[in-house]
Structure 1
Amino acid sequence: MTNSPVTPLLDQVPTPNELRKLKPEQLRQLSDELRAEMIDAVSTSGGHLGSGLGVVELTVALHYVFNTPEDRLVWDVGHQCYPHKIITGRRDRIRTLRQGGGLSGFTKRSESEYDPFGAAHSSTSISAALGFAMANKLSGKPGRGIAVIGDGAMSAGMAYEAMNNAAQAGNRLVVILNDNDMSIAPPVGGLSAYLARMVSSSEYLGLRSLASRAVKKMSRRMHDAIGKAEEYTRGMVTGGTLFEELGFYYVGPIDGHNLDHLVPVLENVRDTSEGPVLIHVVTTKGKGYAPAEESADKYHGVPKFNVVTGEKQKGSAGPPAYQNVFGDTLADLADSDKRICAITAAMPSGTGIDRFAKRHPERSFDVGIAEQHGVTFAAGLAAQGMRPFAAIYSTFLQRAYDQVVHDVAIQNLPVRFAIDRAGLVGADGSTHAGSFDITYLATLPNFVVMAAADEAELVHMTYTAVEHDEGPIAFRYPRGNGVGVPMPETPQKLEIGKGRIVRGDANKPAKVAILSLGARLEEAKKAADTLEAKGLSTTIADMRFAKPLDEDLIARLARSHEVVVTIEEGAIGGLGAHVLTFATDEGLTDAGLKIRTMRLPDIFIDQDSPEKQYDIAKLNAPHIVETVLKALKHNSASVEEARA
């Protein structure tokens, strides 16, 4: 670690009110200090680095020119908001990013009035900013809606849906297209900047408005022809014809790191009556920090690192990551099955599809941030006889739920869903937690829903999904590394709807049966050790399937045990609800059987270490023991001992 950077000017700017008192020529120094502060902060906390570095100057310029928080600034995704947080009154807590009780790694309404809209998923900013703009217009309040959206987020249809609906907002809506990956129309130095300033200036817009009024007095055909000529002439010089067709006045492209170019354009847009306006800003991800500029993908999200060398803090070697187990297994299976295809929605490395793509590039598809399209695309592949795997994070699959229902489940198409980041996810917090997929998939007819207890089970479930052509099938697995079990040399096809006993005997009478679904199995084993030390015989079943249920196994355990506890990393409505429904329908509770369900609580759990999050959720071994003892009505001393 290094000493904190020297930031004399930034020290004088705790909020945008102080920022707006600076002279324009001071903004370069402020940006340099802000960048240094952000690098140092992320080096101690970890988090998203490259995206924030790319918008330092843009952040300074926006708060300098616009009257935030009255002008509502909405950051798309929000992972680039660290510079924004530093200059909006949160610098003293910036080294608590993504930690328990600290700052969120994304924008969050409860943190600051400068975060008018929480975001951690992509492509929501224009819709939200449009809402702010229209609300102010309708109520007669001042203030604009300003959306900052990256070019990657423009791959989602929602962005265009919002733009298509934006005309009524007039100049109340400003969209900043942060082009930091593949420039739509590269800037050409001073000429590009000059043109951007010119077409956003009040003089140009005034002449344009005057000409427009004059043209309206001409024939309709002449009016349309002149309008098209102006639009396309400007489009050929500066780009942006697509945005003009959607009703936006396009300005750009401009260098997003050149404050001498950026600030005047923003001031022109602020003072114009033209609108809505889209400003195309070209930036460099990782700007100002050489390791991040040279390897933007590796410095998108980082652990703690050495600022001087760029060397990242390495974790101890351990079991393979679940996503890599899935990616390698699928690639192996695809060697001999040409029908296997893999689809990801802009998360190839996060889902392991990058490993598949290296070996089978022609059957690997990154559809961008377009989960809806990705699911229906997979349905089309399946309908034509392919074996598609849609590898999507649990929290992102929610965005495509209608397609899962309408295009996959109703048609009973064999799309395979590999659901990564199932359960709680630590530092990314509630927005990325995979809390609901068991519930929202297991309620659908035709679906098979599995959950891997460990990395070996993930291998078997991947193979089982390949071989399942009777309808849709999903399997979920957590973020991070496996538990260290031996890996199978050959994957096994699991019998659909059948669990396995991992401790005890389903037919032998015992006190307690724990029915585990997914990665809480290790905690169930620890709980069983404690219970048996107390003289309470315990059977453990890894259910494997939330749907269809292993009804025979549940019935046998219910008849031979006094207490049955279900545990899962999902919200209410999952395994526990299905077990309870089956048990009551079959009369299994009539003989005094006690069934208790353990699941995620009815709250959104903020960022913290996974261990602490599962403590908050009461899904660790001591909580399992406590649940059993309460069901058996053991004395309070025993319950307190279970918590210890």
Structure 2
Amino acid sequence: MQEELLPHIEYPIDLRKLTPDQLPYVAQELRDFVINIVATKEGHLGASLGVIELTIALHYIFNTPEDLLIWDVGHQAYPHKILTGRKKLFHTNRQLHGISGFPKRSESDYDTFGVGHSSTSISAALGMAIASKLKGDTTKQHIAVIGDASIASGMAFEGLNHAGVTDVNMLIILNDNAIGIDPSVGALKEYLTKAKVGFKPKTDNIIEALNFSYFGPIDGHDLPALLKTLEALKSIKGPKLLHIITTKGKGLKQAEENQVTYHAPGKFDASTGNLLPKENIQQPPKFQDVFGHTILELAEENEKIVGITPAMPTGSSLKYMMEAMPDRAFDVGIAEQHAVTLAAGMATQGLVPFCAIYSTFLQRAYDQIIHDVALQNLPVIFCVDRAGLVGADGATHHGVFDIAFLSCIPNMIVAAPANEIELRNILYTASLGLEHPIAIRYPRGRGTMIHWKTPMERLSIGKGSILSKKETKIAVVSTGSMTTNALEALKGINQKVNHFHFGFIKPLDHTLLKSILKNNATIITIEDGIIRGGFGSAIIDFANQYNFSSKIITLGVPDQFIHHGTIEELQEICGISVEGIQKTILRHVN
């Protein structure tokens, strides 16, 4: 019986003591290790299973961490973490105070570049390679691993374009599995599909046209082939690209067959691979599904409505419209900048574009939001999913900056509905035609309403609402889903506190706000974004402008990066959990 090898491997130096013939056994043990942990702790499964052999080969052939290895996005970095000193900590992955689900420079010398968004690896590796050249280090290797979905992004092409005319020691490994989170799309994907293992397309090679030496395609699960090829590439100078073909979810039948579901499947049975059954109880909908079903409902009544998402049809739930109306709903790939300007172009021609995009990804298209949409005052509708704290994905994925970075843009309307019904109503209102662009932000996860598919009503832009008004001089002013937290907090403390909800952060309801400031000595604002430049800051600015003297306490995300944990844990850290809000209210009531 083969002795287990993985228990004796803590770092790549231990891996390199083995013979090449032993590495396939390490691969099987490593694959089982990932499956067993992720089955109970959750996380990104399919991408990591697809690079087991590649990870072993890279750390075996290259002298990491002296040779610099960069993983694009980082969904696939679990095997890398296990082989680089974090095997005993891997069970804490994505948990509060545990290791990050993505490569993180402060966590390990082997994590040479922090990642979480795609398509950055080529630029980072090129920067490192140029630095090595300037320092006179001609032996150091610089390796970027990037997927076929990520390499189609504009930033990746910018890096390729520069690297192709730079005399540096750099290797790009194109991990081609035809899928990101959802299946890859676009002309480049069609081009890559023509390439099979052992066969190079007869068409002009786009990589070679960019002055890269092209190698492959080879089977990314064939360890001997990987070892042989990587060893040979070490001695070849200049920019080069190795094209490997892999299967996302390799080694777990269900993950191979259901690649979208098993990207991050939640808990499952490690022995069978089957997802664990969920309680058969009626639950409130996910906010993304409220958007997805509502836009389809609206599009059926309004032929001018179109939907756009950058590579997140499942995550944003635009998939429902894409299935029903494939000619009016578009997945543009990992191309946030293109998505925004595409929407702008559509708006100039009288269409009603809904651009569904995660808050954290909208950051990547900030110039386009300002110049291509807001400056031209085009009525693009941004459906900003995953706004606020998102939990285990951590600092790279929290949508906590959008209130601040959108509110400062002229012409931009910023809406933050409190619940599913208000989200439907603002989507409906936007679909009827606005004079300005609008960003509608809503959180990750489920709402609170079972019966949410009510007839939609047109809202008055910039109108706030009174939730409770009592004989008191203290008021809570909340926005977005934090209104739910505030309502729960007030239920539990039996105190006389006024409560107001602002479903529009910009424009603010000046009439209501003046009344609040006039009649309340203490005001507590609550938001799930950064305090600096956020909703509370806007109210302070307003109070100063009109010479109100109320004491204003702002609750939200502090001026620091919040790392990973459950949403509830992170809200508690920020003081915006139900209990945290209660403590603040009681402190000021007393």
TM-score by length of 2: 0.94
User: 1:96-495 to 2 correspondence within 5 Å?
Assistant: 96-141=92-137, 142-167=139-164, 169-181=166-178, 184=192, 191-192=198-199, 236=201, 241-273=205-237, 275-316=238-279, 317=281, 318-484=283-449, 486-495=451-460
Q: CA deviation at 1:509?
A: 4.3
Match of 2:571 among 602, 614, 618: 614
Deviations 1:445-482 (A, max 9, x none): 11111002111111111112112320101110000011
Q: Distance in 2 between matches of 1:350 and 1:269?
A: 38
Superposition RMSD in Å: 1.8
Q: Distance in 1 between matches of 2:158 and 2:196?
A: 31
Deviations 1:359-388 (A, max 9, x none): 221100000000000000000000100000
- Aligned partner of 1:498 in structure 2 is 463
User: In the alignment, residue 393 of structure 1 is paired with which amino acid?
Assistant: Y
1:179–1:537 distance in 2 versus 1, CA, 3 Å: same
User: In the alignment, residue 543 of structure 2 is paired with which amino acid?
Assistant: A
Match of 1:579 among 539, 561, 564: 539
Match of 1:519 among 461, 481, 487: 481
Aligned length: 575
- Aligned partner of 1:230 in structure 2 is none
Q: CA deviation at 1:303?
A: 0.8
Q: Distance in 2 between matches of 1:599 and 1:87?
A: 38
- Aligned partner of 1:40 in structure 2 is 36
Q: CA deviation at 1:621?
A: 2.9
Q: Helix, strand or coil: the match of 1:391?
A: strand
Q: Distance in 2 between matches of 1:7 and 1:320?
A: 49
Q: Helix, strand or coil: the match of 2:57?
A: helix
Deviations 1:28-70 (A, max 9, x none): 1111111111111111211111111111111111111111101
Q: Distance in 2 between matches of 1:581 and 1:467?
A: 32
Q: CA deviation at 1:169?
A: 4.7
Q: CA deviation at 1:624?
A: 2.6
Instruction: Give 5+ residue unaligned stretches, structure 1.
Output: 1-5, 193-234, 635-644
Q: Distance in 2 between matches of 1:621 and 1:455?
A: 19
Q: Helix, strand or coil: the match of 2:521?
A: strand
Name the structure where helix makes up a greater proportion of residues: 1
Deviations 1:102-161 (A, max 9, x none): 121111111111101011100000001111111111112341211000000022110010
Q: CA deviation at 1:172?
A: 1.4
Check whether the contact 1:136–1:144 (CA below 8 A) recurs between aligned residues.
no
Q: Helix, strand or coil: the match of 1:570?
A: strand
Check whether the contact 1:453–1:521 (CA below 8 A) recurs between aligned residues.
yes
1:554–1:261 distance in 2 versus 1, CA, 3 Å: same
Check whether the contact 1:454–1:485 (CA below 8 A) recurs between aligned residues.
no
User: In the alignment, residue 617 of structure 1 is paired with which amino acid?
Assistant: C
Check whether the contact 2:130–2:168 (CA below 8 A) recurs between aligned residues.
no
Q: Distance in 1 between matches of 2:15 and 2:332?
A: 40
User: In the alignment, residue 534 of structure 2 is paired with which amino acid?
Assistant: G
1:258–1:177 distance in 2 versus 1, CA, 3 Å: same
Check whether the contact 2:165–2:211 (CA below 8 A) recurs between aligned residues.
no
Q: Distance in 2 between matches of 1:481 and 1:579?
A: 29
1:67–1:169 distance in 2 versus 1, CA, 3 Å: farther
Q: CA deviation at 1:236?
A: 5.0
Q: CA deviation at 1:257?
A: 0.7
Q: Distance in 2 between matches of 1:621 and 1:257?
A: 49
User: 1:55-74 to 2 correspondence within 5 Å?
Assistant: 55-74=51-70
- Aligned partner of 2:558 in structure 1 is 601
User: In the alignment, residue 501 of structure 2 is paired with which amino acid?
Assistant: D
Match of 2:503 among 524, 529, 544: 544
Check whether the contact 2:133–2:168 (CA below 8 A) recurs between aligned residues.
no
1:122–1:188 distance in 2 versus 1, CA, 3 Å: closer
- Aligned partner of 2:472 in structure 1 is 510
Check whether the contact 2:214–2:243 (CA below 8 A) recurs between aligned residues.
yes
